[in-house]
Amino acid sequence: MPATTPSQTRTVRGTVVRFSVLAALYVAIVHLLPRPAAVSPEGWRLVGIFVATVGGLILQPIPGGALVLMAITLASVGGGLSLAEALAGYSDPTVWLVMAAFFISRSLIDTGLARRIALGFVRMFGKSTLGIAYSLSLSDMVLASIIPSNAARSGGVILPILRSIAELYGSLPGPSAALIGSFLFTAVYQGICVTAAMFFTGQASNPLAAQSAGQYGQTVTWSSWLLAGIVPGLVSLAAIPPLMLKINPPQIRRTPEAAAFAASQLREMGPMKRGEWILAAVFAAVCGLWATSGVHKIDITVTALFGSAVLLVTGVLKWEEVKSERAAWDIFIWYGGLLRLGKALNDTGATTEFAKAVGGAFANFGWVALFAAALAIYYYAHYGFASITAHILAMYPAFLAVLLAKGAPAGLVVYSFACFTNLAAGLTNYGTTPSPMFYAHEYVSFRCWWKAGFLISFVNLAIWSTAGFAWWKLIGLW
């Protein structure tokens, strides 16, 4: 039997320590904190399970999906839920919307259509360093309309093209990174955080925020999120690259070779093939039906599943590819479980009691002052999160409950906190899944990455809280 290596021993010890912290967190919630009279003992144990689960998503003693599976099992044992109730999240239409979008996104990547879209933007706008940043950000924006994995579209499509363009100009990690690569990596990454905030499908846990909003009577759909995010999002996308020229200036400003490179890559790909044409039609039809769902009343999950079915029938998407889509099935496990736990937590009455307690502590504050302070705290709290999902679960429902209890307009609160969670991922090199993927290429120093994220945070906060809030007022969100 092989001996245990020191690294394996450290891994096991670290896992035990993290689980011990989670167990202590559960005990502290359930047995040390006073239980509100309105919350049953079973409901209070469910609160402890939920808080420990969120802590686990931050500490990661085991992968998130496995942790959530444990949580829903424990919820059926001691959290007052039957097994059928604990597993009910896996039948939620929103979970299957995300799954169907993942399947369509797999076809976009595998057929090369996503790459063709990105190269097309670079060919049109890539004759300057600024133009390259814009073209890659716009490519990500188009793909975000239907690809719910920012890692898949940004890491799988945008990042390889970005690295190729940097190398085209001899810009490699190290001293030559300043030629063009460092600028492009920071500018494009900040754009990715904006596109994640612009769409319901911009990032995999955005539907979690929509579900939480629904529990307070605010319906969030793909089209309503698009309408809310398009104006402030485009303003942010327009502002970030020129500002990044000041923050992290490249030595090379003119890049005609990049446009030529994109054109040559497109020539190598040849004309669009049958699968790409079918996929383009499905892509346009699904997005069109999503955008007009308020008119024809077809559920957006039905539309997404039908689009996936068309791709399967035509052979553009293979069933083997569906079975091997590991990211989709991983999200299915943790997302469905968290969705159910979040709903069950709201049913316990704990969030209402929390809102009452916090509202009492800030009784002298009007909703405007409390809203401004809460937004700033919420945004910069992301320094403590390595996951947008964990941030949403830990803070989004609580802040909604507090502000709505103080009389803040529901639409303003729901969309601002949902969008700002994604924008805040730009603060660090671990804020969301693509951030370590970009940072690991070593084009940008730790100091430069954090400096850029901090300065751009002021820009995003200013744009979304002025142009964004004014736009939301104009379209009647508040």
Q: Whole-angstrom Cα distance, residue 465 to residue 468?
A: 6
List of residues 6+ apart from 372 with CB closer than 8 A:
none
Q: Is residue 36 part of a domain?
A: no
What is the tens place of the pLDDT at every residue in 392-410? Answer: 887 888 888 889 888 899 9
228: pLDDT confidence band, cut at 50, 70 and 90? very high
pLDDT beyond 60 at 1: no
Provide mean pLDDT across the span 132-137. Answer: 94
Q: Is residue 349 part of a domain?
A: no
- The answer to whether 214 touches 148, Cβ cutoff 8 Å, is no
Q: Is residue 445 part of a domain?
A: no
Q: What is the pLDDT of residue 401?
A: 86
Q: Is residue 75 part of a domain?
A: no
Q: Is residue 224 part of a domain?
A: yes
Inter-helix orientation angle 206-214/326-348, to 10°: 20
The total domain count for the chain is: 1
Provide mean pLDDT across the span 169-187. Answer: 93
Q: Is residue 152 part of a domain?
A: yes
What is the tens place of the pLDDT at every residue in 95-104? Answer: 888 788 888 8
9: pLDDT confidence band, cut at 50, 70 and 90? low
Q: Whole-angstrom Cα distance, residue 299 to residue 93?
A: 9
How many other β-carbons are positioned within 10 Å of the β-carbon of residue 195? Answer: 28
Q: Is residue 442 part of a domain?
A: no
User: Tokens standing for 179?
Assistant: 């030629």
pLDDT beyond 80 at 146: yes
Inter-helix orientation angle 410-423/367-380, to 10°: 20
Please give the share of the chain, as a percent, with pLDDT higher than 90: 48
Question: Cα 446–448–451 angle (5° rounding)?
Answer: 105
Q: Is residue 440 part of a domain?
A: no
Domain that holds residue 245: 93-326
Higher pLDDT, 365 or 418: 418
Q: pTM of this prediction? A: 0.78
